[in-house]
Amino acid sequence: MHLRTTVALEGAVELILEKAVKLGLARSKTDALRMGVFALNKEYHLVKDLELEMVGRKIEAQKAEMKRKGRRYLSEEEALGKYR
């Protein structure tokens, strides 16, 4: 899942992002925004286990894709059949 958005920044936020890039803390304003999102999560524990959450989302996306295409998971026997 990808979220693409355009954000208009001005004032203090723009100044802070520019300073982060100028000081070499971030390669770009976009990277500085990403760093801010991770800092927000670290401070408020919005997503407890990032890896687990991402894996869960990936599995759900694959299930939806398989359902859309009319496919199903292979059983263990089907998956390993030619190797036995």
Structure tokens at 4: 């693409």
Calculate the alpha carbon distances from 29 to 48, 50, 53 in Å: 26, 23, 26
Q: Which residue, 20, 15, 55, 52, is CA-closest to 35?
A: 20
Structure tokens at 74: 């292979």
Q: Which residue, 13, 15, 35, is CA-closest to 25?
A: 35
- Name the residue type at position 13: V
pLDDT tens-digit profile, the chain (84 residues) = 688 999 999 999 999 999 999 999 999 999 999 999 999 999 999 999 999 999 999 999 999 999 999 999 889 999 999 888
pTM score, two decimals? 0.71
